[in-house]
Amino acid sequence: MRYIVQPWETWEKMNTLASRFGVTPESLVAANPILNAIPLTPGMQLTIPGRPELEFPAGTYIDYIVQPGDSIYEIARRFRLNYRNVVSQNAQIPNPDVIWPGQVLKLVYR
């Protein structure tokens, strides 16, 4: 399963993050070798070992909080969504090439 690190989660809380998903910190690092070099940072995408990828039924949506360095294209790719659909479903974003950390995007699965 993929997980996106939230702003309140830091390196000091990796044990808590691992515990939340029922894995050891060591297995979390083994599945995400980047954690050997850098601490948890908001927006970082992690693989949670032993958890299957989630498939959302059509019509399901999630609210995604834009993280530093995000683009709508990258967010759409990360969540396996069509870029144009993400843009059209978020009319509150006047220019899809300019998004800011903290903005909320609605990601709808069709």
Residue 89 pLDDT? 92
CATH code for the domain defined by 61-108: 3.10.350.10
Residue 78 pLDDT? 81
Average pLDDT score over the chain = 84
Other Cβ atoms within 10 Å of 6 Cβ, number: 13
**Yes or no: is domain 2-47 CATH 3.10.350?**
yes
What is the enclosing helix (H) or strand (E) of 105? strand 104-108
State pLDDT tens for residues 2-56: 787 877 666 557 788 888 888 898 998 999 898 888 888 777 888 888 876 666 6
Q: What value does the mean pLDDT take over residues 63-78?
A: 88
* Domains in the chain: boundaries: 2-47, 61-108
Pick the residue with more confidence: 64 or 14?
64
Q: What value does the mean pLDDT take over residues 69-75?
A: 90
3-state SS record for 4-71: ECCCCCCHHHHHHHHHHCCCCHHHHHHHCHHHHCCCCCCCCEEECCCCCCCCCCCCCEEEEECCCCCC
